[in-house]
Structure 1
Amino acid sequence: MQNYKLHRLSDQPILKTSDVRPAMEGFEVLGAFNPATCLVDNEVVMLLRVAEAPKSQSGIISVPLLENRDGVPTLTVKHFPEPAQPYDPRVITLDGKVYLTSLSHLRLARSTDGIHFTIEDKPFLFPARMDESFGIEDARITFLDGKYWITYTAVSEHGPGVGLAVTTDFTDVERVGMILPPPNKDVALFPQRINGKYYLLHRPMVSDIGKPSVWLAQSPDGVHWGKHQFLFGGRGLTDPRYAWEGGKIGAGPEPLLTDDGWLVCYHGADPTHAYSLALALLDKNDPSIVLDRSDEPLLMPELPWEKEGFFPNVVFANGWVRWPDGRIWVYYGAADSGVGLAELVRE
């Protein structure tokens, strides 16, 4: 992995929060980031995570979420006095319950050059079930069996789980449902079957024992998953050279098949919650075998718009595109406030 480099294609974000209009009346966009991407007929299709919240009022915290009203999940806004003490801008505990301060959905954007995007005003996927009542976040797209499989984090008061939707045209979409229950996230499907089985990477969340790590699972049909096994974890706990992934790690976009094996992009967070990007290589016939990993991060938060934003010091990739000429472009969220673009180069 040491011969791969990530080179920014711009010192400015290609998409900013201010480029996105709110989908809900009376709301504002707090962040537009962490996009899933794929190539469809030489057009880059992006599913952008858009976090919206009611317009701010002095001294008031307004929390958007779905509530069950007569059996129908219904968008609701709860209002609380703003706490006097400092709090996480994303997650807050009020009256003994944990809430998200915004509601995320997936917004479709398209580009013919991979740089300049037209963003739709209406959501492509909006929270619609109670297991999505706190939002839909951080999608991945994999083209598999003639259709586009979209995995995403479905968040509710019961924690983050993994939802699945499929489409053939990014116009009509079928919501399959939750394929991995809470607490889990960061799911990336492999783009082809291996020895007749579907495979995915996922990131179970742990409590007192263990650290969040990348796991592997397999399935006969792409919906029912089993044979879960630990794949790799952060090395920072035992070796200070890897402090950049000492907090937690998780898989990024769908793995890419190369001559050397399955190329996996993943993020690592240090104990201060600064996120970086790295690579792993898995055996092409048996992805449970890790052949190689990055010794150093390929991309770290360095530019002002990567270090400052809704959640600072973050570069987070869950979308990349391999062009017909072999170029690999990595789309990454920056500080939960915009999207950057880098090219993965083998030197």
Structure 2
Amino acid sequence: MAFLVDQLVFSPNDIDLQYSPLRQSIQADTYVLGAFNPGLTRLPSGNLLIMIRVAEAINQPIIGETIHAIRWDAERGYHLDTYPLNSVNAADPRKFQLLGNTYKVMALTSLSWLLPVELTADGTQVVRIHYDKIIAPQRTYQEYGVEDARITKIDDTYYMTTCSVSSERHSTTLYTSTDGLTYTLNGIILDHQNKDMVFFEGKINGRFFALTRPLGDLYFATRPESPYYAGPSINLAQSPDSLHWKPLDEPFIRARKGTASTMKLGGGTQPILTDEGWLMLYHGVELSGQVGIYRTFWALLDKDDPTKILYLDDKQPVLEANPALIEPIKDQLYLSDVVFTTGLVDAGDYYIVASGECDLACRITHIPKDFFTLSDKQ
């Protein structure tokens, strides 16, 4: 479906790498592989903030018979690790697999940090790039970067979840802020490979709720007649204080047979409370090629009991990748068929939706509120 406002608002070309945290110590030429997957919130001023994942990559990861990975070290800062080329599988330009290990072990040819960018109230123009507020690795569990922010404002506090990547663990970390712009790291709140954690924008019966999505290399078969696929699913968890989380016992949203989410799915935007219930946008992935086709779908949850799904559309996507948006920067494209929605803000008659487009740029879409009403869905 076409929307009146649907545009790229930020791309790699908008970043000045002289402000990059990597420039403090790394001795290599780098470039912006992608500026994408922006967390979205409204600042006290009324302007919007997108917290952009900047994936900064080595221009020449392969030199002679060696390949290099970027890593942050608590003592040495940013530097390059060197591996013999014949000891890795380097089919993917973004990462490579170290061969000969008992488990699947990867290293990255890019490292991600977060860049706060202030937008106008409607999200269509950049007001200021806050290079002085960059969020970069500062703990050893972030040695391979900080990725994919999601921002939720509850009462007077902004809660920002991120994915921290390291050889220690692949975890969800929490940052908090009182102004939406300056964030303090609170540490790990979900352990190994629990990605796409998103807080509900408000408490339910005095407790925090969140979407989670545990990952793994092993899943057990569903019964043959089950309507669901085995694999990653969106789960729910609750917390008394935003730091200590208890997963709910029942499964939540799962990849369903006969839909476009045959590969996996995961949380997208923060669920926000509407007159009809909690509105959430999430991503479903269709099995295709190495990465899959990412689309955005939506669901509406009961306002008092979010385990009750009032409506879910996992067949007709809200958003799909739009090649026309990427056309001006298509020479930088390294993925296609990916839209990864990461933020949702109420703007009166419509919602402002922030997404990563093809792991390359930030997309802003205005979606009328009546698109998500249940009156014509029953």
Q: Same fold (TM over 0.5)?
A: yes
**Counterparts of residues 1-347 of structure 1 (less than 5 Å):** 7=3, 9-10=5-6, 12-22=7-17, 23=20, 24-25=22-23, 26-40=29-43, 41-56=45-60, 59=63, 61-67=67-73, 69=75, 74-80=77-83, 87-94=91-98, 96=100, 97-113=105-121, 114-117=123-126, 118-122=128-132, 124-206=134-216, 207-209=218-220, 210-229=230-249, 230-235=251-256, 238-239=257-258, 242=259, 244-272=260-288, 273-294=292-313, 295-304=315-324, 309-323=333-347, 325-345=348-368, 346-347=370-371
Counterpart residue type for residue 354 of structure 2: Y
Q: For the residues of structure 2 that align with 1:90 and 1:6, how far apart are their CA atoms?
A: 32
State the shift of 1:202 in Å. 0.6
SS at match of 2:337: coil
CA gap of 1:119–1:56, structure 2 versus 1, over 3 A, is farther
Looking at structure 2, the residues matched to 184 and 58 of structure 1 have their Cα atoms a distance apart, in angstroms, of 31
* Distance in 1, Cα, partners of 2:233 & 2:262: 11
Deviation at residue 122 of structure 1 after TM alignment = 4.8
| Structure-2 change in CA distance of 1:89 and 1:311 (3 Å) | farther
Moved more, 188-197 or 56-65: 56-65
> C-alpha distance in 1, partners of 2:294/2:136?
27
Q: Decide whether the 8 Å contact of 2:284 with 2:297 is kept in 1.
A: yes
Distance 2:165 2:52 in 1: 17
1:52 partner letter: E
Paired position in structure 1 for 2:225: none
Distance in 1, matches of 2:139 and 2:272, equals 32
Gaps of 5+ in 1: none
Q: How much has 1:51 moved relative to structure 2?
A: 0.5
Query: How many Å separate the matches in 1 of 2:171 and 2:61?
Result: 31
CA contact (8 A) 2:62 2:68 kept: no
TM superposition shift of 1:169:
1.9
Q: Distance in 2 between matches of 1:93 and 1:145?
A: 44
Partners of 2:3 and 2:73 lie apart in 1 by 44
CA distance, structure 1, for counterparts of residue 108 and residue 133 of structure 2: 19
Instruction: State how far apart, in whole Å, the 1-side matches of 2:281 and 2:82 are.
Output: 39
TM-score (normalizing by structure 2): 0.82
Aligned-pair distance for 1:133?
Answer: 1.2
What SS class does the counterpart of residue 287 from structure 2 fall into? coil
SS at match of 2:13: helix
Encode CA deviations 1:15-48: one digit per residue, 9 max, x unaligned.
Answer: 1111112203243211100000111121011100
SS in 1 for 2:284: strand
Q: Which amino acid is the alignment partner of residue 37 of structure 2?
A: N
Superposition deviation, residue 306 in structure 1? 5.6
Stretch of structure 1 that moved more, 278-287 or 90-99: 90-99
The structure with more helix, counted as a fraction of residues: 2
Once the two structures are aligned, what percentage of the paired residues are identical? Answer: 31
Taking structure 1 as the reference length, the TM-score comes to: 0.89
For residues 312-347 of structure 1, give each alpha carbon's deviation from its aligned partner in whole angstroms, at most 9, with x where no partner exists.
Answer: 220001112212x24201111111111112122224
CA distance in 1, matches of 2:89, 2:111: 23
CA shift for structure 1 position 67: 3.2
Q: Measure the CA separation in 1 of the matches of 2:5 and 2:161.
A: 27
Contact 1:35/1:331 (CA < 8 Å) preserved in 2? yes
Contact 1:51 1:103 in 2 (8 A): yes
For residue 14 of structure 1, give the secondary structure of its aligned residue in structure 2. Answer: strand
1:197 CA drift (Å)? 1.1
Cα distance, 1:310 vs structure 2: 3.0
AA in 1 matched with 2:145: G
1:156-210: per-residue Cα shift (whole Å, max 9, x none)? 1244210001011245322110000011110110121111111111101132323
1:239-295, CA deviations, whole angstroms, 9 ceiling, x for partnerless residues?
2xx1x2111101112101111110010001111211000001111000111111113
Q: Which moved more, 1:137-146 or 1:24-33?
A: 24-33
Secondary structure of the 1:231 match is: coil
Question: CA RMSD for the aligned pairs?
Answer: 2.3
How many residues are paired up? 333
When Rg is computed on C-alpha atoms for both structures, the one with the higher figure is: 2
Mean CA deviation greater in 55-64 or 296-305: 55-64
**Corresponding residue number in structure 1 for 2:374:** none
- Which structure is higher in strand share? 1
Shift of 1:61: 3.4
Structure 1 partner of 2:227: none
Higher relative contact order at CA 8 Å, sep ≥6: structure 1 or structure 2?
Answer: 1
